[in-house]
Chains A and B, each alone.
Chain A
Amino acid sequence: MTTTTTATTTAPLISKRAIIDWLGIAPFMIFALMFLVVPTLYLVTGAFLTPAGEFTLKNIADLFTPSILSAYWISIRVSVASSLGGALIGFFLAWAIVLGGVPSWVRSGLLTFSGVASNFAGVPLAFAFLATLGRTGLVTVFLRDWFGFNLYSTGFNLLSFFGLTITYMYFQIPLMVLILTPALDGLKREWREAAEILGASHWQYWRMVALPILWPSLLGTTLLLFANAFGAIATAYALTGSSLNIVPILLYAQIRGDVLHNPNLGYALALGMIVITGISNILYIWLRMRAERWQK
């Protein structure tokens, strides 16, 4: 009761200021609702509705048909392979420039290049790999003319799971380098010295000190790379057309021409993508908060 009275006596003053305060971010909130939140929620609710507008779980159940499951499975495999490969190579590169004792121009050069390459995705990246590893690409021709080695007779094909994976790694590795370099910079020299004084070998230092500190960064960034690859479409579409059936390409075809013959199943397909990228991003954010404990 008392709270209500105080509220009414000071209400005009407080509410006027509060209204101005909230009006200040109203444009942003309206923008976010109109172009981010509502469109997404529309698809999410649509995934649980029949075309007639009644509640149903059939769309979700229909995701578990072989053709859609196989699309998810290829997508997950490509994303896992390219994120693990990107994380591994990216880790070694970050390690080399931070702890490998190389000159500083190598470090700044690699970091600048990583900034560019992590943004060099989409259609042009597909062209670059076609010109390099395609049937008449530079490396293919080089191997054939100089070593008599025919890449394509080994069953290699750029328009395949493996080809897509190494193409995606072109933007995955630089992203890993960019995120992991600060984490490696955060490894304090004192920790290593303390470990050495206590008689730890190089291997023991990494296994018992450095990696336990780094693992949230490593795992978190790998998850970020996974989500990054999972949502990407332009590179795959330009590289393979629609011959490789990954989820974003299936969704693209569905938006273009309702290939699933059920609009609401399309919404469920989109929901599946949001769930997968959402979970990996939430885990990434949580792991990054854990990692930051050591970076103070």
Chain B
Amino acid sequence: MKAQRLGAWIAIAVGASYFIIPLLGTLEFSLRMRRGAYSFDAYQSVFSDIQFRETFGYSIIMALLTIVFGMLLVVPTAYWVRLRLPQVRPVVEFVTLLPLVIPAIVIVFGYLRLYNSSSILPLTGSTSGTNALLMFSYMTLSLPYMYRAVDTAMRAIDVRTLTEAAESLGAKWPTILFRCIFPNVMSGVLSGAFITFAIVMGEFTMAALLNRPAFGPYLQLVGANKAYEPSALAVIAFAITWLSMGLIQLVSRFQQSASPKA
């Protein structure tokens, strides 16, 4: 038993150092810009870069739009499948898993061929069309996570009883959906939203191939041209991922402590 515990600690020590050393390395490297002393110069240089602000803002807006439209698509679908079409559940679930099976680069390759400026639906012909296509591509990428998060939250509530109760009180469909179902699956909506945010902020392939000025391609560009700024950006990106995941934990813990009372 003692040997086993020793082995466990060795495994954890090895794993932890593999996880932590690159983070320390990145942090240390990002502070090295000024010769001979640690400083925040690299961060200053990043934050004063107009392109950083523009691409970061662009990606935040895209992430928010993706979350709003994604949830407007996913929540009613998951609700409807549970309420009225349980027989198509395996099909819907299979479809939501497809973005994990088909590599993102293949999906965007299909978009570029299908929606180019000489096709029936020339989305890539205009800036707003390309922006819309990029948002749809982000919705596709986050579909597996959003659907699973919402569906798990929906499993915990009795969709049928809630709907019947609302109907018998005279509620119409929009009321049922937005004032009854949405608030009850809020924990799922929020965790889906945070993971979507983390995915969209760092996404590179889709934005680069659709030629949109998002944060991911900007990161790549800085990485190819500068020395210390990439590390500062990696620290910032890691902080965003950490924040998103931390918020998911917080939301699920909130849900766990709230559900016994409900």
Chain A residues at the B interface, C-beta cutoff of 8 Å: 21-22, 24-25, 27-28, 31-32, 34-40, 42-43, 46, 89, 92-93, 95-97, 99-102, 106, 110, 112-113, 115-117, 119-133, 136-139, 169-170, 173-174, 227, 230-231, 233-234, 237-238, 241, 248, 251-252, 255-256, 266, 270, 273-274, 277-278, 281
Contacts and interface: CB of A to CB of B under 8 A. Distances in A.
A284 to B, nearest CB: 10
A131 B30 contact: yes
Contacts of B52: none
A123 B95 CA distance: 28
B61 interface: no
A255 B5 contact: no
A230 B103 contact: yes
A123 B220 contact: yes
A89 B18 CA distance: 10
B12 A40 contact: no
Nearest to B4: A100
B254 interface: no
Contacts of A238: 204, 219-220, 223
A231 B224 CA distance: 22
B105 A227 contact: no
Interface of B: 1, 4-5, 7-9, 11-12, 14-16, 18-19, 21-26, 28-30, 73-74, 76-77, 80-81, 84-85, 88, 92, 95, 97-114, 136-137, 139-140, 195, 198-199, 202-205, 209, 216, 219-220, 223-224, 230-231, 233-234, 237-238, 241-242, 244-246, 248-249
Contacts of A113: 19
Contacts of B73: 27-28, 31
23 contacts: A25-B92, A31-B73, A31-B139, A34-B136, A43-B113, A96-B15, A100-B9, A102-B12, A120-B241, A122-B204, A123-B220, A123-B237, A124-B238, A127-B230, A128-B238, A131-B234, A132-B24, A132-B25, A138-B28, A233-B204, A238-B220, A256-B209, A266-B109
Nearest to B20: A113
B204 A138 contact: no
B7 A42 contact: no
Contacts of A22: 85
A122 B9 contact: no
Given A131-B29, A237-B204, A43 B104 contact: no
B88 to A, nearest CB: 7
A40 B102 contact: yes
Contacts of B109: 39, 43, 251, 255, 266, 270
- Which 7 A-B pairs rank lowest in CB-CB distance, beginning with the nearest? A100-B8, A39-B110, A231-B103, A132-B25, A138-B25, A131-B29, A96-B8
Contacts of A36: 95, 98-99, 102, 107, 140
A112 B245 contact: yes
A293 B230 CA distance: 47
B12 A93 contact: yes
A148 to B, nearest CB: 20
B235 to A, nearest CB: 8
Contacts of B246: 112, 116
A123 B216 contact: yes
Given A127-B223, A233-B205, A241-B224, A116 B241 contact: yes
A173 B136 CA distance: 30
A137 B25 contact: yes
Nearest to B101: A281
A277 B102 contact: yes
Given A106-B12, A131-B28, A238-B219, 12 more contacts: A24-B80, A24-B84, A36-B99, A119-B244, A120-B241, A123-B237, A127-B233, A173-B19, A227-B101, A248-B105, A256-B209, A281-B101
A169 B223 CA distance: 21
